[in-house]
């Protein structure tokens, strides 16, 4: 029996797909590449934009025509966001709603007459880092976002369960664990909060390093910064979905902070960790974003050493308040502003990379190119290419010294490699 996956959207979707894959593998079902003949096909959908939702629906219809005998399973945010009439006529065999998602593999296996495995599972080594899902859901209800409607209210996994799964990842040989969720700042288990969980994870024996997903501004980022500064195993990278550098736009978005809050947090953070990697999400052309408001956003990005900026031209999402707002920005201007910020990001990322020349950095080796050059990411989330690395170093942490910057990537020489089990 074979299964293939097509996963759209966010890191959380990819983490959930990895879990599905592991559960199928434990039951003896083999994963094959998407597009290859498979008896089970899982479409893990996204609905962050209406175009993403439409793409998922379109692919489902095409797949059923191409492979009518496959058991086609439709799961993810598009299940909650798509109109009921669109789902009713969708040519799929199983539609898995949000409250049944954790039981997806068992539901599918029951359809094909295979018993699910009773033993704990960890992701297959198709990737070099493991994603630890610690929570799901969000109740922030930003005016542009459909996620609270598709993912539901915040729900956190038990503290001990998170630690147990992380220990299983380490035992399976993963040297980097990425903490992920829909809104990880909402993590709660009794009196335990996100910073408590991160501290416990960072203390696990054998862990190489711990990477943090996106953290909502105005929540727990300052506590995390304090922990990060004191905890070498926690990657020096902080990603904040800032979305805008203008207070008027932030208010229309329903965000929970001001530009002054962001600047204060970033200033304090960089005093503690001057070489920290900074990431941000920015939406350009939100309704009411004037030229002056965009200039404020550009000035904020330019004022701090952001090395990763994900820029999205605003896209109306039906079902959200912002989709009905007046003072719409023309599509061409939304895109022009996005291009402007992307070009600024490229300059700033290259400048940030230059600061690491001649200094040892730690890289997780993820792949080798056709020239046998190793590629991976530093803890600060800089791409790095390293010559003369043995193939046995794949999926391992190595220490190297960059000597050049090629476009936005570091070029380095190997100095040492960690043991397979990482730091004890």
Q: What is the pLDDT of residues 361-398, one digit of tens each?
A: 999 999 999 999 999 999 999 999 999 899 999 999 99
CA 111 distance to own-chain centroid:
31
| pLDDT > 60? residue 205 | yes
- Which pLDDT score, from 0 to 100, does residue 116 have? 87
CA distance 362 to 72: 42
Q: What are the tens digits of pLDDT across the range 240-280?
A: 999 999 999 999 999 999 999 999 999 999 999 999 999 99
Q: What are the tens digits of pLDDT across the range 344-365?
A: 999 999 999 999 999 999 999 9
For the chain, the structural domain boundaries read: 2-112, 130-354, 361-417
| pLDDT > 50? residue 419 | no
Q: Higher pLDDT residue, 67 or 294?
A: 294
CB atoms within 10 A of CB 374: 25
Number of H helices, E strands in the chain: 13, 19
Instruction: Tell me what the mean pLDDT of segment 406-417 comes to.
Output: 85
Instruction: Tell me what the mean pLDDT of segment 212-226 comes to.
Output: 96
Instruction: Tell me what the mean pLDDT of segment 185-214 comes to.
Output: 97
Instruction: Tell me what the mean pLDDT of segment 100-108 comes to.
Output: 95
Task: Say which residue the tokens 């690395």 belong to.
Answer: 389
Q: How does 78-117 read in b/e, with b if 16+ C-beta sit within 10 Å?
A: bbbbbeeeebeebebebbbebeebeebbbebbeeeebebb
H helices of 172-220, where? 194-202
344 close to 352: Cβ distance less than 8 angstroms = no
Q: What are the tens digits of pLDDT across the range 299-320?
A: 999 999 999 999 999 999 999 9
- Which pLDDT score, from 0 to 100, does residue 351 have? 94
Backbone angles phi, psi at 412, to 5 degrees: -140, 170
Q: Higher pLDDT residue, 424 or 230?
A: 230
CA distance 285 to 407: 28
CA distance 111 to 387: 49
Q: Which CATH class is domain 130-354?
A: alpha beta
243 close to 264: Cβ distance less than 8 angstroms = no
40 close to 73: Cβ distance less than 8 angstroms = yes
Confidence of residue 30 (pLDDT cuts 50, 70, 90): very high
Min mean pLDDT across 122-126, 178-182, 230-234, 349-353 is at 122-126
Task: Say which residue the tokens 């229309």 belong to.
Answer: 252
Angle at 18 between CA 16 and CA 21, to 5 degrees: 110
379 close to 237: Cβ distance less than 8 angstroms = yes
Residue 274: both structure tokens together: 């001057």
CA distance 154 to 137: 4
- Which pLDDT score, from 0 to 100, does residue 417 have? 52
Right CATH for 361-417 from 3.40.50.2300, 2.40.50.140, 3.50.50.60, 2.40.10.120: 2.40.50.140
CATH number of 2-112: 3.40.50.12160
CA distance 247 to 3: 48
- Which pLDDT score, from 0 to 100, does residue 118 have? 77
* Half-sphere CA count of 335, side-chain side, radius 13 A: 3
CA distance 380 to 277: 5
């Amino acid at each position: 029996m074979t299964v293939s996956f097509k996963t759209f959207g966010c890191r959380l979707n990819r983490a959930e797909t990895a879990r599905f894959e592991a559960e199928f593998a434990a039951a003896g079902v083999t994963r094959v590449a998407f597009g290859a003949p498979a008896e089970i096909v899982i479409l893990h959908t996204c609905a962050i934009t209406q175009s993403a939702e439409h793409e998922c629906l379109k692919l489902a219809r095409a797949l059923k025509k191409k492979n009518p005998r496959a058991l086609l399973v439709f799961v993810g945010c598009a299940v909650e966001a798509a109109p009921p009439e669109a789902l009713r006529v969708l040519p799929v065999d199983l539609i898995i709603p949000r409250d049944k998602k954790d039981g997806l593999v068992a539901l599918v296996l029951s359809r094909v007459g295979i018993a699910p495995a009773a033993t704990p599972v960890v992701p297959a080594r198709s990737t070099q880092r493991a994603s630890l899902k610690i929570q799901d859901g969000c109740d922030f209800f930003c005016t542009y976002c459909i996620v609270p409607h598709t993912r539901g209210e915040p729900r956190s996994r038990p503290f001990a369960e998170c630690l147990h799964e992380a220990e299983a990842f380490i035992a399976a040989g993963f040297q980097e664990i990425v903490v992920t969720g829909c809104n990880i700042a909402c993590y709660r288990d009794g009196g335990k909060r996100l910073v408590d969980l991160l501290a416990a994870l960072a203390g696990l024996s054998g862990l190489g390093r711990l990477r943090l997903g996106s953290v909502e501004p105005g929540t727990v980022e300052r506590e995390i910064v304090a922990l990060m500064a004191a905890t070498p195993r926690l990657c020096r990278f902080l990603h904040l979905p800032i979305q805008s550098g203008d207070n008027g736009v932030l208010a229309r978005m329903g965000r929970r902070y001001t530009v002054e809050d962001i600047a204060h947090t970033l200033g304090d953070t960089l005093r503690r960790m001057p070489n920290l990697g900074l990431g941000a999400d920015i939406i350009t052309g939100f309704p009411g974003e004037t030229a002056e408001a965009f200039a404020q956003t550009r000035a904020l990005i330019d004022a701090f050493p952001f090395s990763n900026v994900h820029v999205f031209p605003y896209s109306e999402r039906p079902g959200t308040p912002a989709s009905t707002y007046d003072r719409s920005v023309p599509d061409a201007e939304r895109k022009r502003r996005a291009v402007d910020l992307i070009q600024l990001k490229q300059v700033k990322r290259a400048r940030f990379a230059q600061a690491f020349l001649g200094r040892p950095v730690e890289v997780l080796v993820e792949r080798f190119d056709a020239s046998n050059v190793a590629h991976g990411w530093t803890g600060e989330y800089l791409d790095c290419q390293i010559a003369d690395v043995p193939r046995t170093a794949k999926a391992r942490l190595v220490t190297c010294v960059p000597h050049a910057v090629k476009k936005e990537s570091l070029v380095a020489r190997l100095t040492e490699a960690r043991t397979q089990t990482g730091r004890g």
